[in-house]
Structure 1
C-alpha cells in the first residue's frame, strides 16, 4: 500500500509536469532538460520516502531484536533462580528454595511476555521488508527510466537539430534557386538583362547616327565636285569628264537638247 501511494503520487506529478511542458513546448531542448530535472526531483522525493520506510523497518527490527534478547536474558535468569532454589532445597532450606522458585516464575513470565511481543512484531516486519524490497526495486526502475529519459533526450535533441539544419539548408537552397523566378539570383539576372538590352539599344542608336554622318559626308563630297566643275566652266577651262554609262549619257544629252 505504501509503495502504491508513494510511486502513484510521484507518477501523477511527473505526468502532470510532462503534460504541462508538452503544452508549452517552446524550446524542445529546454523542455526535455526540464523533464529530466523534474524526473530527478521525483526520484529524490521517492528516495526520501523509501528511506523513511526503511528507517521504520529498522526500528521494528531493533524492537524485535530487543524482545528476543530480553527473552533470552529472562530465560537465563529463570534457569539461574531455579538452580539456586534446588541448591537451597538440597541444603534443607525450603524457605529460600521457595523464594528462588518464585523468582524463577517471575523471570519465566517476563520471558513469555518478551517472546509474545517478538512474535507479534514478526509478521509486521516481514510485511515491511517486502514493501521495502519493492520500493528499492521501484527506485532502481526509476533510475533506469532516468537513464532512458536522458538518452531519449539526447536523441530527440539531435533529431531536432538535424531537422533544423535541414530546414536551414532547404531555405538556403531555395533562396538561390536559379530556376525560381522569385529568387534573388533570378531577380539580379533579370536586372542585368535589362541593362544589357539598354546597352544594345544605345549601340544601335550610335550606329544609326554614325551612318547618317557618313551619308552627309558623301553628299558634301558630291556638291564639292559640282562646285569645282562650275568654277572651271566659268574660267573657260575644260573640266575632267568622269566615266559614265551610255544610258546616263543619253539622258543628259536629251535634257541638254532642250536648252
Structure 2
C-alpha cells in the first residue's frame, strides 16, 4: 500500500456525499456499517502514512537547518581566515598570508555549497508542509465524518426500532378489529353472546315454570273459594228451614 493510494482514498472519502450514498442504498444500515469500517480502516492507514510524511518533513527541516547553520559557520571561518591573512600580510609574511587566504576561499566555497543546499531544500519543505497541512485537514474531516456516520447509524437504528414497534402495534390492532368476526376479539364476543343467549333461555324457562306454579295457585284459590261458597250455601239453606220451624 503506497502513501499515494492512501492519500487518494482520503480525498475520495472526504469528498463522498454520505447522504447521497445512503439515499441510493438498498439497505442504508448495511451501507453505514460498511462506511464506518472503510473510514475507520482508512483513518488508521492515513495516520500511519501522515506520520511518515511528517517524519520526512522534519528530516528535511533538520537538514535545512543544519545547512543554514553550516553556511553561517563557514562564513565565520572564512572571515577569520581572511583577517588572519590580512594581519600576516601587514607584517610582511606573504607566504602564510596566502595560505590563510586559501583557507578563506575554501571556507567560502563550503559556505556557498551549504547555502545552495539550504536554498534547494526550501521549496521542498514548503511543498511538503502544504501536503502535511492538507492531509491533517483531510484526516480531521474524515474523523468528523466518521462521527457523523456513527451518529447516523444510531439514528437509523432508533428509527428502525420505532418502525418495528409501530408495525407490531398495527399488527396487534389489526388482530383485534372488533368489526372483523374472524378476529380473536370477535370470536370471544360471539362466544359470550352465545353464553348470554343460553342464560336468557334458561331464565325464560325458569320464569315459565314459576308462572305455571302461580297459575296453579290461582286455580287452587278459585277452587277453594268455590268450596267455601258452596259451604256457605249449604249452611244458608240449612238455616232457613230451622228458622221457619221456630217461627
TM-score where L is the length of structure 1: 0.67
Question: CA offsets per residue over residues 163-197 of structure 1, 9 Å max, x none?
Answer: 12211221222222212223211111122333444
Q: Between Structure 1 and Structure 2, how many residues are aligned? A: 216
Paired position in structure 2 for 1:158: 158
Paired position in structure 1 for 2:54: 54
Query: Offset at 1:133?
Result: 1.1
2:111 aligned with 1:121: no
Paired position in structure 2 for 1:75: 75
Paired position in structure 1 for 2:193: 193
| RMSD, aligned CA | 3.9
Contact 2:68 2:114 in 1 (8 A): yes
Structure 1 residues 161, 36: CA separation in 2 closer, same or farther (over 3 Å shift)? same
Query: Offset at 1:86?
Result: 0.6
Contact 1:3 1:134 in 2 (8 A): no
Question: CA offsets per residue over residues 130-168 of structure 1, 9 Å max, x none?
Answer: 111111111121122123223222322222222122112
Query: Offset at 1:123?
Result: 1.4
Paired position in structure 1 for 2:109: 109
Query: Offset at 1:12?
Result: 6.6
Question: CA offsets per residue over residues 31-57 of structure 1, 9 Å max, x none?
Answer: 756643542332222111111111111
Contact 2:50 2:136 in 1 (8 A): yes
Contact 2:6 2:45 in 1 (8 A): no
Q: Which consecutive unaligned segments of at least 5 residues does structure 1 have? A: 222-239, 241-259
Q: What's the secondary structure of 1:151's corresponding residue?
A: helix
2:122 aligned with 1:138: no
Contact 1:3 1:135 in 2 (8 A): no
Question: CA offsets per residue over residues 44-97 of structure 1, 9 Å max, x none?
Answer: 221111111111111111111111111111111111111111111011111110
Q: What's the secondary structure of 1:129's corresponding residue?
A: helix
Query: Offset at 1:10?
Result: 4.8
> Which structure is richer in relative contact order (CA contacts within 8 A, separation 6 or more)?
2
Contact 2:84 2:97 in 1 (8 A): yes
Question: CA offsets per residue over residues 106-129 of structure 1, 9 Å max, x none?
Answer: 111111111111121111111111
TM-score where L is the length of structure 2: 0.70
2:170 aligned with 1:173: no
Correspondence 1:1-259 to 2 at 5 A:
5-10=5-10, 28=29, 32=32, 35-198=35-198
Contact 1:71 1:115 in 2 (8 A): yes
Contact 1:74 1:108 in 2 (8 A): yes
Distance 1:3 1:127 in 2: 16
Distance 1:101 1:69 in 2: 22
Contact 1:81 1:101 in 2 (8 A): yes
